[in-house]
Amino acid sequence: MGLYVNRGREGWTELRVHGVSGTPPESLLDHPGVERVAGDVQAGCYRRRWQIAPTEEDADGFRREAYSWGGLTSGDGQRALWLLLLPFMLLNMAYFADPGHRVGAPSLAVAFRTGVQRLLALSLTGTYVLGAVSASVDLVGWQCGNATVRPCAGNESWLRWLNYGWLDTPGRHLTVTAAVPIALVMLLWYLGNKTWQVAEAQPVLQSAPTPDVRTPLEDRRMWNGRGPVRRLRSLHITAALTVIAVFLLAPLLDRPERGPNALLDGRNWEAGAMFFRSSCLVLALLVLACVVVWVAVPGTGRRERPNGMVENSSESDFYRVLPWAALALVVGAAVAASWGSNGARTPAASQLPWEVAWIHMLFLAQAVMLAALLVSQLFTSKRDKAPPAPNLPRQPWGGFVQTGVAFLGWALAGALAAGLMLRVAEILGAPAAAYRRGREQAQLIVPDVYFWAGTGAAVLVLAAVGIGTVSWLVQSGVRRSAAREVAKAYPASQSDPRRAADIATAWARAQLLESTGRKTLGILLTTAAAVAVVGIVVYVVDSSFVTDQRWLVLLANLVLSAAFVGLLWAGRQAYKSPRFRRTVGILWDIGTFWPRETHPLAPPCYAERTVPDLLKRLEYLAGGDEPTKRGKVILSCHSQGSVIGAAVILQTTADTNRDVRMLTYGSPLTRLFVRFFPAFFNAESLDRIGGLLTPEDAPALWRWRNLYRPTDPIGSWVVAPAGLPREGTTVDPAPSPVDRQLLDPAAFARPAGDLVHPPALGHSNYFADPAFEATVRAFRNGDIR
């Protein structure tokens, strides 16, 4: 006997979109058997599968459908490695936290900040590559391969291959150990291209030649990243490969300690291998300089409105060839280094030439760019702020979220690079500053800036743990306020003080993300900025202040190693544990909601796939292609799905949205997105969403309802706070205010015959509350016009 799946679209369809937990379609539809009716395994639409045609569920007039996009963000434990690219994601978030974004051409200040952030993104790619070069090429290839000094403790065991006859030249040591940074770049290239094909390469069709765009989020060019992400990825990979080529060649110059001036020495241009090596080095430097300029050109990353057709011909252009040309340059550099050097004539130095100068130059450039962001925001802060809305929260940290998040990404990238260098040096021997190197033990020279960066990062990790612990413990005020609310909501609360205290604790903890969490992160950023400024000043005055303290270096090494392991563990837990993902994973899903506007190698943006998918599905279900089969859709969105749903509604056509209603629950729209990204989510955009969901004869009635709970740490009201109902009160979804607060737990006392009290559901299982089904029914019956 065949199985039945309702594939119709006439009547009503409740289209459910899940949130951060990656809910499987079976749970989303509360049914054990489902079948995919559109999309693919990564993001697709599912309907319930029955043994026979049901008489009530999934009947001709109503059916449920689930859009499951968990495959774009959830997966096995290997996905935890994406967290190593967290600095790139933070830089993308910083771009969208800029309050100066408006519809149309950007202002001069926003265009300036965009260019600065794209250059800062390129420099973070350079930080990763230089970190890999330092740990592999410098420590292993250059210092451990030095047959004269023998600085590595493991030189007689697993590093014995460095003394093999066919590798016994500095150039061949460099070539072999360069395989590590090359592998890193190739991995980034592969991941960037693979995720681009899943996300940005999905076509976005424009609805009209001159669309009515009133807010930045409804402009479809925002989701049309196929071209700009591809171009920026090509330039980043090219720059990364040319940096490796430079460090394959520069150390083998005659008198490389002179820096680029060594290229002016005629001995480096003698016929033969020296000429070829110097030519490749000059070419690599020129390519790198051109890439830096190219990234800053506004047109490189500019997004265009889709024109209704997918352009593939342009993807066989110069940008496709450029990374391969850079890879060929690396191969040429490896050949020149391997067969153009002589161990006797080019003895290994104590430290990889050019490395320290490049690290200092990169650090200085990044500090200048961050300062430029801060100064630009200072001068335009009043002009960039949107008109204040009485009910909506304002951007925290004085409006400098953009600079703060960019600074956090920069600090984290530096900490990862420093931690890698110090950890590898500790494994191979003992890290030491150049002026402190002794002969009594195996010591490896590590640039001073890595000691300072590692120490600063360790101080910040310890400060974060301390600040977070204190913030968690100091909850008395929040608990007292929650206890008063519990007493009002539950008339029987006086009969069981312990039960009342448990509920008050659950309510208080849910408010930590909005109150204590925001303030804690602000304090941490302020502390980090102070540590960075003080550290830079002390480093300039006396760089030995940290390097002379062996215990401090050891502490930094241990803390950074623990932080690295903890980062991987957090990433794995976010995909294994639904509870952990709902609390920590929301921060990850906020970051990956935004397109890869500044850094093309960041974790992929799921919205560049989900928004076009849902837009097409809504148009299909509403009968846009066949007016005789018009249907009505309830876009039912949980958690992060409500942010996707809001973006979709802002891009629907008038012909589609007149048959669409929206139900959101556990929504972070106002609590997180309005607060931190005010240029894209604000009073104007919320009014625009509501206006697109109104009947023509009653523009003040929004066909949108939002449900939230006092125990929900993520979701809250979106337009205005709603009153908390008393126990036993039925929530009426019909009246016009959008927001409805639900009582959680639903009952104070233990039900008769039950063994435990009703649990607090928090951010989960909104379907279990009677108010959910009542709201869906009110939409279907026309009670919510």
304-332 pLDDT, tens digit each: 877 755 555 456 578 999 999 999 999 99
Domain-wise residue ranges, the chain: 11-73+606-781, 115-205+224-305+316-384+402-446
Q: Which two tokens stand for residue 151?
A: 């600085």
Predicted local distance difference test score (pLDDT) of residue 316: 58
Model pLDDT, residue 112: 94
- Per-residue pLDDT, 105: 73
Please compute the mean of the pLDDT values over residues 503-531 and round it to a whole number: 82
d(CA 192, CA 605): 11
List, in sequence order, every beta strand (DSSP E) within 417-462.
431-432, 444-445
Q: Which residue has the higher pLDDT, 591 or 343?
A: 591
* Band (589; pLDDT cuts 50, 70, 90): confident
- pLDDT, greater one: 268 or 641: 641
pLDDT tens by residue, 659-675:
899 999 999 999 999 99
pTM above 0.75, yes or no: yes
Residue 76 has pLDDT above 50, yes or no: no
Which range in 94-103, 147-156, 253-262 is most confidently predicted, on average pLDDT?
94-103
Location of structure tokens 């009716």:
37
Mean pLDDT, rounded, for 461-481: 76
Range with lowest mean pLDDT among 143-152, 180-189, 209-218: 143-152
Predicted confidence (pLDDT) per residue in 7-24, tens digit: 888 889 999 999 876 788
What length does the chain have? 785
Q: What is the topology classification, in CATH, of domain 11-73+606-781?
A: Rossmann fold (3.40.50)
Angle, in degrees to the nearest 10, between helices 179-198 and 108-132 = 140
pLDDT above 80: residue 651: yes
Is pLDDT larger for residue 54 or for residue 772?
Answer: 772
C-alpha torsion 332→335→337→338, nearest 10: 170
Question: Does the pLDDT at position 348 exceed 50?
Answer: no
Dihedral sign for Cα atoms in the order 175, 177, 178, 180:
positive
Q: Residues with Cβ < 8 Å from 104, sequence gap 6 or more?
A: none
The 3-state secondary structure of 162-205, one letter per residue: HHCHHHCCHHHHHHHHCHHHHHHHHHHHHHHHHHHHHCCCCCCC
- Tell me what percent of the residues of the chain surpass a pLDDT of 90: 37
* Three-state secondary structure call for residue 612: helix
The pLDDT value given to residue 313 = 46
Determine the average pLDDT of the residues in 625-654.
Answer: 87
Each residue's pLDDT tens digit, 420-430: 888 888 888 77
pLDDT tens-digit map of 240-269 = 999 999 999 998 888 877 777 777 776 767
Phi, psi of 362 (to 5 degrees): -65, -45
Please report the pLDDT score of residue 344 as a whole number: 39
Q: How confident is the model at residue 14, as a pLDDT?
A: 95
Whether the per-residue pLDDT at 439 is higher than 70: the answer is no
The better pLDDT of the pair 449, 574 is held by 449
Strand partners, 704: 662
- Where does residue 297 rank: exposed (0-12), middle (13-18), buried (19+ CB within 10 A)? exposed
Tell me how far apart the alpha carbons of residues 419 and 387 are, in angstroms, rounded to a whole number.
44
Is 438 a residue whose pLDDT tops 60?
Answer: no
Placement of tokens 């502490």 in the chain? 555
Task: Compute CA 613 distance to the chain's CA centroid, rounded to the nearest angstrom.
Answer: 21
Residue 42: Cβ within 10 Å count: 17
> Does 431 score more than 80 pLDDT?
no
Q: In this model, does residue 81 exceed pLDDT 80?
A: no
Token digits for 202? 């999905």
pLDDT of residue 346: 44
Residue 599 and residue 88 in contact, taking contact as beta carbons nearer than 8 Å: yes
Angle at 498 between CA 492 and CA 503, to 5 degrees: 75
Number of H helices, E strands in the chain: 25, 10
For residue 115, pLDDT beyond 80: yes
Question: Which pLDDT belongs to residue 475?
Answer: 67
pLDDT band at 572 (very low <50, low <70, confident <90, very high): low
Q: Give yes or no for a cis peptide into 745 (omega within 30° of 0).
A: yes
At residue 79, the pLDDT reads 60
Strand 444-445 with 431-432, pairing: parallel
pLDDT, one tens digit per residue, over 540-571 is 777 777 766 777 777 777 777 777 777 767 66
Least confident residue range of 337-341, 600-604, 663-667: 337-341
The mean per-residue pLDDT over the stretch 93-113 comes to: 89
Q: What mean pLDDT value characterizes the chain? A: 84
DSSP state of 59: B
If DSSP states are collapsed to H, E and C, what string results for 217-229?
Answer: HHCHHHHCCHHHH
